[in-house]
Structure formats: C-alpha cells, structure tokens
Structure 1
C-alpha cells in the first residue's frame, strides 16, 4: 500500500519539485483518450442513458457519497468496459481526506482510490459541496501513479466526482511526464458518457 504524509496537501508544484514531474505539451503523448476509439453499441448507449438519468436524479438530493458514485456510475461503466473480466483485478487503496475553509467553516470531502492491474488508478471524490473540483484529485492521482514500480510501462488514471471525468497518463522512462484528457461532464445535453466508455474500452484493450 502506498503511504503518504499529508497527502491531501500535495499539489502539482510539490510533485514538480520533488519528482521532476512535467506536463507533456505534445498532443500525441496521450492518444489513448482521443485516437481510434472503439465504438459503442445501441444497447450500451441505452445503458449509459440510464446511468446518466439515475445519477442526475440522485444529485437532486445531496450530498452524494463516493459509495453512491461507485455504485450508480463507476461500477456499471467498468463492467461495460470489461474491467471486471480477466486478466484484470481490482483492489481498494486508502482514502484521502480533502478540506477547504469557507466562511470559517471547514468542509471535508474524501477521495476513494481503486486500482486496476497496477496500471489504472481511479480516484472518486466524495464532495460535500460543489467547491471540490477534479483539480483536488489530480495531484493525488499522480502521486499514486508515480509510485508505480514498473517504470517501463505507461500508467493511466481517471478522476471523477460522478458528474465529471478527466483521464490521465504518466510515463517515467527518462523523465516523469503526464498529460490530461479533456473534461467530460454529465451536465451537457449530449451524453458524454459515450466518450467516457469509449476511452475506458480503449484503455482496457491497451492494458490487457
């Protein structure tokens, strides 16, 4: 298990200073989220429409725990993408607390971590308020990904709060470089879970 000291306070500047981490500028560094993505079927689109509808209905009654996000959104997505099948295995890592002060009140949230095949890290944010953006989780995801001992292989990640998704890629062969995908959201009229599932499918094929 990866151990962190005050992991909730780790930011990108800290990772850049301590690990020489740099954000890749070249678009071809992370083609897995946009290039030659597999298609999805009509039945999969129907399932994704249900997932979106279920989440938006539950979101009317906050707060949403990370357990709800995993049950309603993440678990069916991982199933459709094939991450519950061989050769993949999944385990849970320690949770990380995050907090922010708002008008003298300390608001706490939590990041729950799942890891698949040691090469795909999923961080799920439990948000008590909308003040927690995915930016809170990106340095945490990169911290876990930097701890991967298999330096010869790229490592991927995804951070989500249920309504938004960002994918990450890290390579550490010569220097540590990472890149982010666009942000996908359930708050648009178009169901962007279609793109999210296509990316997850592509990653499952890449890692299998």
Structure 2
C-alpha cells in the first residue's frame, strides 16, 4: 500500500532532488495519449453526452465531492474502457490532502486514489474552488507512481476533478522520467470526453 502523502509538502522540485525525476523532452516518450486512438461508437458517444449532462447538473450544487465525481464521471469512463473486466482489478489507496495558501485563507482539497493493477493510478480531486488547478495534483500523482515496484514497465496516471483531465506517464530505469498530456475538458461546447475515453481505451489495450 502507498503511504499517505501530505500533498502540500511534495513538489516537482522535491521529486527531482530526491529521485532524480526528469521531464521527458522527446514527444515519442508518451504517444499513448494521442497516437492512433481507438474508435468511439455512437452508443458510447451518447452515453458520454449523458455523463456530461449529469455532471453539469451536479456542479450547480457545490461542494463537488470526489465520491460524486467517481460515481458520475470516472466510473462510466472506466467501464467503457474495459477496466472493470479481466484482467484488471481496482484497489483503493489512502486519500491525500492538498493545502494551498491564499491571501486570506487556506484552500484545501482532497485527492482520492484508485490503482489498477499497479499500472494505472487515478487521482480524483475534491475541491471547494472551481479554480483549483490539476497541476497542483501532478507532483502527488508522480510520487504515488514512483512507489510502484516495477522497474521495467511504464506506469500511467490520470488526474481529474470531474471536468478536466490530465494523463501522465512515468518510467524508471536508470533515471525516472515523466511526461504529461494536454489537458482535456468536458466544459467545451464539443466535450472532450470522447478523447478521454479513447486514451483510456488505448491504455486498457496496452496494459492488458
């Protein structure tokens, strides 16, 4: 099990200093999020459109809890991508906390962590502020991914607050390296949930 991390104590600079972590500069390092994505069927698109509608109704009644994000948004995506089927198993890790200093207050958020076969780490952010950036969760995602015992296979991550999504890839070897995807959002008129599902399908096929 991954030890709980006080998120405000972890930064990319810390990971670089302690683990020699380096951001990959070669675009070919992380092609899984954009290279030849699997097709999304019309039925899947209709389902994802309903997911967006349900989420937009949910955000009208804050705070947005991570349990609701998992139920309304993440669970349908994992189901459609095949992560509830063999050979995958999902484990729940300890939640970790984010605290950001504002001018007048401390903004707190929580990250709930799900792990699939120690190969895909899913971090779901709960926050009272819509402006809470996914970038604040990336160091915590990478710290969790670095704890994976496998040295020779890449580990992937997804950070989401329900409306926005960022994918991560980490390899260890002689020097741990990571890369991040573009940020996807369902808030656009043409929701990018289709692309998110394509990436998850691609990861499902490569990790099975």
**TM-score by structure 1 length?**
0.97
Distance 1:70 1:5 in 2: 21
User: How does the TM-score come out when normalised to structure 2?
Assistant: 0.97
SS of equivalent to 1:32: coil
- Following the alignment from structure 1 to structure 2, what is the Cα–Cα distance between the partners of residues 197 and 88? 17
1:4 Cα shift? 4.6
The equivalent residue for 1:129 is 129
Q: C-alpha distance in 2, partners of 1:191/1:76?
A: 15
Task: Assess if the C-alpha contact under 8 Å between 1:21 and 1:178 holds in 2.
Answer: yes
Which residue of the partner structure matches residue 69 of structure 1?
Answer: 69
Give the C-alpha shift of residue 14 in structure 1: 0.4
Look up the match of 1:173: 173
Uncovered stretches (5+) of structure 2, i.e. residues with no partner: none
Gaps in structure 1 of 5+ consecutive residues: none
SS in 1 for 2:32: helix
Contact kept in structure 2, 1:39 and 1:198, CA below 8 Å: yes
CA distance in 1, matches of 2:45, 2:2: 37
1:54-111 alpha-carbon deviations (Å, 9 max, x no partner): 1011111211000000000000100000000000000100001111233432222100
Distance verdict in 2 for CA 1:5–1:113, change over 3 Å: closer
**What is the number of residues matched between the two proteins?**
208
Contact 1:166 1:184 in 2 (8 A): yes
Deviating above 6 A after TM superposition, structure 1's stretches of 4 or more consecutive aligned residues are none
